[in-house]
Amino acid sequence: MNRERENIIFSKELNKYAFYHAVHIYLKKPQVINRKLSCSNNLAFIEYNEKCEVDNVREIICNTLKNESLKNLEKELNNNFIEHKLKNLDALKDINVCKQVSIDRITAKNNISCFQITIIDKFNDRVSFYSLDNTSKFLPLINYTLVFKNNQLKLLVSEKDFENDACNWLRYALIKKLQNWMENYEEEGDDNKRMESHSLIDDEAYNKLYCELKQKHGKKLESLWVDESTDPKKFVYEDIAICAYLMTLWKKYREENKSDEKQTFLDFGCGNGLLVYLLNQEGHIGYGIDLRKRNIWDKFDPQVDLREKTWTPDENNFNDVDWIIGNHSDELSPWVPVVAYRSSYKCNYFLLPCCAYNFSGTKFERSDTSKSLYMGYIDYLNDISSTCGFNTTLIDRLKIPSTKRICLIGLNRSHDIENYAEQCEFISQFIKASIEQNKNFIPREKVPVVRNCTKIDKNLTEKIVKIIFDALMEEKKNKDTFIEEEEWNSGGELKMSDAVKLISQEDLKKLKAESGGLQTLLKNKHQIFDIRGGIIKIRKPKKITDIKISKKAQKKNAIKSSPCYFHLHHKQGCFLKSEDCCYIH
């Protein structure tokens, strides 16, 4: 017995097109809602005979899939109820096709898969979901139906599943997301506005490879990261994901070209060298260049080819590789298509841009204000690729933990090899015209310029800190009871805008070149000040036993390495005993 479990009544008029649009997204990208999933692979999407009952459809498919034979499945489907096989899931949007069934293999992030059957009945606007795995930990183990009727979205589950945890997930996660998709549906051109993730590769193959690379390299690379200041989980697994994407893409091209030879590469501006390490370990010959060596390079195997090198546009290019990689290459990003083209007639490129720069190394400024800076930059890079003579520039979205995850892939040439030299000259003139209004290309400094208020005059820093500290002490006499009923003045609070007025114009000019200015300087003094939402307060001293000390801080003996500001400058001193304070008394 089915029981109506949930009604969602929308605030605006919707139609069944919006309903099937939302179902289409859910079938195609269930990982958007269920974070345990990696991808969904549609094995068959078909129309079945109106005379065939839904239970019969499900029974035939279930019995056939239990034999784990897709060939048998197709034979059984053809023998029993298919009128004709539809092309793909996009046919779901055709309201005139009333009886459909989708058979999908759902893959979790741990690379375990199971089958799901979805029965679509457009006569009654009902969509029913059936999982064929009773032990799955990443799909609802109950059967459920979505119904769209009288401008309401309803969830139907059987009476016995009423209190199941999966039912709560359906009610509060799935229904909420479907509602959002329906409310934001646009009939004309809606799908064209959305860029699919991994549209150029086999998502199942990618997920399998990613899991293998993660298992093989993840923990080892995390252990190498112990002395780095950045988060290993972000950098290590992001580069593993990029590596898995490239290897899946390259394997696809090898199969298309009937070649067994693995692609060679140059990582242009390789940074920490992780991507070079991973590709080398997986059998791809290549190397990385960067103007500054990183400490972690010394921890990689000796055969990992990483070179400290400053590149300029007038030098020889790289005719010894098949692909140029630009992975968050900053100022080098617009040069990646150029370098790939000049390197050889057959050289391709992969570009994952982040910060937006022009050829001259200056910040990119968008010309179309209707687009974000990022999307405007993607268009700019795409134009460069076309101008350089790449016949095909593909754009895809990666599955990485970053907001900047759109990549460009340049393949083939728009002209014959006989015109290669002529096109190279044309590119040179194009670049010259692009940068003539700015300064010539200047490589980034080998030692980055630090602008975080840590390099300014010490006397100026102490002067400004004392001005703000004294102002907080006078602003309001807050009395806090700590030990032995002794009152300690923790000062008042001050808006950042008011604090700026306390500093002379001459001193503010000295801070102007520093990123963040006064706020950055005060945040650096985190022992003294607590800044939140533009409000400055005195940070109350904490006992050494109350703070979590990182392994890095322990290694560097960072505790009790500097004087206690309150002990020296507060009228009442520090209220903590010397042995309890994190700083020196």
3-state SS track over 459-521: HHHHHHHHHHHHHHHHHCCCEEECCCCCEEECCCEEEHHHHHHCCCHHHHHHHHCCCCCHHHH
Which secondary structure element, helix H or strand E, spans residue 413, and what is its range?
Answer: strand 406-413
* Tens digit of each residue's pLDDT (9 = 90 or more) over 408-449: 999 988 888 888 888 888 888 888 887 675 555 555 555 555
pLDDT at 213 exceeding the cut of 70: yes
pLDDT at 232 exceeding the cut of 90: no
Per-residue pLDDT, 171 = 86
Number of residues that make up the chain: 585
Residue 449 DSSP one-character state: P
Show Cβ contacts of residue 257 under 8 Å, excluding neighbours closer than 6 positions: none
State how far the Cα of 130 lies from the Cα of 57, in Å rounded to an integer: 12
Tell me if 139 sits within 8 A of 124, measured CB to CB: no
pLDDT at 286 exceeding the cut of 90: yes
State how far the Cα of 210 lies from the Cα of 203, in Å rounded to an integer: 10
Per-residue pLDDT, 60 = 64
Per-residue pLDDT, 9 = 45
- Joined together, the tokens standing for residue 131 give 């999982």
How confident is residue 233, by pLDDT bands cut at 50, 70 and 90?
confident
State how far the Cα of 327 lies from the Cα of 195, in Å rounded to an integer: 20
State how far the Cα of 411 lies from the Cα of 102, in Å rounded to an integer: 34
Which secondary structure element, helix H or strand E, spans residue 536, and what is its range?
Answer: strand 535-538
> Residue holding tokens 């921890």?
299
Q: Taking all residues of the chain, what is their mean pLDDT, rounded to a whole number?
A: 82
How confident is residue 482, by pLDDT bands cut at 50, 70 and 90?
very low
Per-residue pLDDT, 230 = 73
Task: Write down the CATH superfamily of domain 203-435.
Answer: Vaccinia Virus protein VP39 (3.40.50.150)
Listed residue (101, 105, 88, 108) closest to 128, CA to CA: 101
- Give me the amino acid identity at 409: I
Per-residue pLDDT, 484 = 42
- Joined together, the tokens standing for residue 125 give 């606007």
Per-residue pLDDT, 11 = 44
Which alpha helices (DSSP H) does 188-320 contain, by range?
Answer: 203-224, 232-256, 274-281
CA–centroid distance for 273 within its chain: 19
Per-residue pLDDT, 4 = 52
State how far the Cα of 179 lies from the Cα of 174, in Å rounded to an integer: 9
> Residue holding tokens 């593909």?
394
State how far the Cα of 467 lies from the Cα of 16, in Å rounded to an integer: 65
Per-residue pLDDT, 149 = 85
Half-sphere exposure of 257 (CA within 13 A, CB side): 12
Tell me if 208 sits within 8 A of 41, measured CB to CB: no
- Joined together, the tokens standing for residue 183 give 């409310």
What is the pTM assigned to this prediction?
Answer: 0.68
State how far the Cα of 142 lies from the Cα of 140, in Å rounded to an integer: 5
265-268 and 323-327 strand pairing: parallel
Higher pLDDT, 57 or 266: 266
Per-residue pLDDT, 75 = 55
Per-residue pLDDT, 87 = 44
Listed residue (297, 310, 288) closest to 243, CA to CA: 288
Higher pLDDT, 326 or 89: 326
pLDDT at 485 exceeding the cut of 50: no
How confident is residue 50, by pLDDT bands cut at 50, 70 and 90?
low
pLDDT at 455 exceeding the cut of 70: no
State how far the Cα of 356 lies from the Cα of 334, in Å rounded to an integer: 9
pLDDT at 6 exceeding the cut of 70: no
Angle between helices 70-80 and 54-65 (to 10 degrees): 150
Per-residue pLDDT, 317 = 77
Q: Which of 213-222, 356-365, 420-429, 546-555 bottoms out in mean pLDDT, i.e. has the lowest?
A: 546-555
Beta-bridge partners for 42: 104
Per-residue pLDDT, 308 = 94
Task: From residue 564, give the alpha-carbon distance in Å to each of 261, 508, 579.
Answer: 63, 27, 12
Domain ranges of the chain: 2-193, 203-435, 449-540, 543-585
Task: Give percent above pLDDT 70 in the chain.
Answer: 79
- Give me the amino acid identity at 152: Q
* Tens digit of each residue's pLDDT (9 = 90 or more) over 86-105: 444 554 555 555 678 888 88
Tell me if 90 sits within 8 A of 45, measured CB to CB: no
How confident is residue 80, by pLDDT bands cut at 50, 70 and 90?
very low
* Tens digit of each residue's pLDDT (9 = 90 or more) over 164-203: 788 888 988 999 899 888 888 875 444 445 678 899 999 9
Q: At residue 147, what are phi and psi to the nearest 5 degrees?
A: -125, 135
CA–centroid distance for 454 within its chain: 31
Q: Which of 36-40, 163-167, 534-538, 573-577 bottoms out in mean pLDDT, i.e. has the lowest?
A: 163-167
Listed residue (351, 354, 357) closest to 396, CA to CA: 351
